[in-house]
Structure 1
């Protein structure tokens, strides 16, 4: 969530679920943090859809902030737990709510394996109050750099042109996770974690309870609203798949090993494609286009290129008219 006050060097990351696939970005962040977890976009809270992703460690809910009644702004059916014994940090700077949600989730995973810097940060904040924890996170230069790597490049500044600023929609990230036999909501803008009640002691017991809480929150939106997204923080399946491959090879199950190897190859290829797409999104294409136009002008090729483009467009428009299409301008 962002406003106009101090962001302390934390860049604004894209959060509108209609703009990009959130999981692609936050997989990169979890990788940078050295954790054995990935993030997947959830398009359904159906039990069958969730079971395919088990074990799920936490759910990160992104929603568009709406003006709610005073009673709805607090806990939406839950109750504050000032005695929460897990990790909880407040959001102390703007633009950091996405990364803060990830840290709040990771900080409550038992026996977390992570990069030494994250481990040291979590150990350092042990016993601190939420506000101080949030300040410690906001002061971590390495974490801020990892967060800023998720931001697209700033290409054009309209400051000083007297153009009225538009009010942008505000989005916010919160976490749902199991702790001490209950489902908790961790929202860095609230004073305490919100306890939403106990759940049945089963693999998907906490998810059933979390699904109920999330559906109640979604019900506060207009029926046609789509301004939210849901992410699942889960164990990286590639690690388990590689272990399974080793076991199959040791057992001499060549057919099963070949099938598993194909699955590993598909998963690896998909991640490489996502990494490539992320690199394109963060590339400054406007600067590239500007440099290309300058080079063409310097070489005396810009005007011929413009004339050729106009010729191609006129020919294309003529073909479309001959085919019965209308509405395409020649220039």
Structure 2
């Protein structure tokens, strides 16, 4: 769960495929993550094989027992509790990749997973979130915290908490890994011919169906094989076989995939950049031209108007 407490040293991360893919790359895991806007089989076809779904939703207190599926206290795989705020994105990734057999990964991650073997979920969660190198990888994808507004008496709206969980196959069943639950949740076996995705789609659609119509308080990501090596191999084979038309179609997919990676890299560079110097230069420029006082008054007026509109709509504003 992502909340306001930053005392753990773990910073908030975005539900963004570029962020998750960069996290996997830093862990030397050859998988990528994509946004899902549909669970239609035709839409998912280009992403196969899919190893896991990462589901983000607005967290609300829930019963201790799962509303769907059943706890599996004897689960033999990898499962870690979330013991600190803001770590749920990386914890979801760990709960996913820790249950993919034979998945290549970097030496530090291999050592960490090996070190936690045999631990109970709570101790495993403590070991993971105590890992300095993993926290640094996680925080490297969060915006620099250069300016703090604490103590300025600024009103703010209470922030909602959001939480990441995982749905994936394990030993013939679809499991839900939620670091805030006591155990993994087993949702039952799936048809081997149809695959686990069909079963998971039913579970996720049922969960989304509990939200009000038009609600946008959740998002879904797919963790899947990197398509670039496969597409590159197809392109070479088609060209060698003289299938120019099909080769051109594959080239379009390659170009789209490469453009997406370039966009992700650019967006991640923006996330890592500190804008403190730019802000300082803008304020200095306003001061030199005698416009700083007017800008400050204009900003204060806009803030007061925003607060007044929220009060008119009955929205709560908590005071620091």
Q: In structure 2, do the counterparts of structure 1 residues 304 and 100 end up closer, same or farther at CA, with 3 Å as the change threshold?
A: closer
Secondary structure of the 1:74 match is coil
Q: Does 1:209 align with 2:199?
A: yes
State the partner residue of 1:75. Answer: 66
- The Cα offsets for residues 13-52 of structure 1, whole Å up to 9 and x where unpaired, read as 235xxxxxx1121111111111111000000111211222
State the partner residue of 2:119. Answer: 128
Q: Does 1:41 align with 2:35?
A: yes
- The Cα offsets for residues 172-200 of structure 1, whole Å up to 9 and x where unpaired, read as 00000000110000000111000001100
Q: Give structure 2 stretches of 5+ with no counterpart.
A: 295-320
Map 1:220-299 to 2 at 5 A.
Answer: 220-248=210-238, 251=241, 257=247, 260-294=250-284, 296=285
Distance 2:264 2:6 in 1: 32
Report deviation, 1:9.
1.1
- The Cα offsets for residues 220-272 of structure 1, whole Å up to 9 and x where unpaired, read as 22223210000000000002122333434555656655654453233222211
Distance 2:95 2:46 in 1: 24
State the partner residue of 2:95. Answer: 104
Q: Is the 8 A contact 2:73 2:183 kept in 1?
A: yes
Q: Does 1:58 align with 2:58?
A: no
Q: TM-score, normalised by structure 1?
A: 0.81
Q: Is the 8 A contact 1:80 1:195 kept in 2?
A: yes
Secondary structure of the 1:52 match is helix
Q: Pick the structure with greater CA Rg.
A: 1
State the partner residue of 2:299. Answer: none
Q: Does 1:184 align with 2:175?
A: yes
The alignment of Structure 1 onto Structure 2 pairs a total of residues equal to 294
Moved more, 130-139 or 266-275: 266-275
Secondary structure of the 2:47 match is coil
Distance 2:198 2:286 in 1: 62
Distance 1:7 1:304 in 2: 38
Q: TM-score, normalised by structure 2?
A: 0.83
Root-mean-square deviation (Å): 2.5
Moved more, 173-182 or 253-262: 253-262
Q: In structure 2, do the counterparts of structure 1 residues 31 and 287 end up closer, same or farther at CA, with 3 Å as the change threshold?
A: same
Report deviation, 1:89.
0.7
State the partner residue of 1:310. Answer: none
Q: Is the 8 A contact 1:155 1:287 kept in 2?
A: no
Q: Is the 8 A contact 2:286 2:292 kept in 1?
A: no
Distance 2:249 2:192 in 1: 34
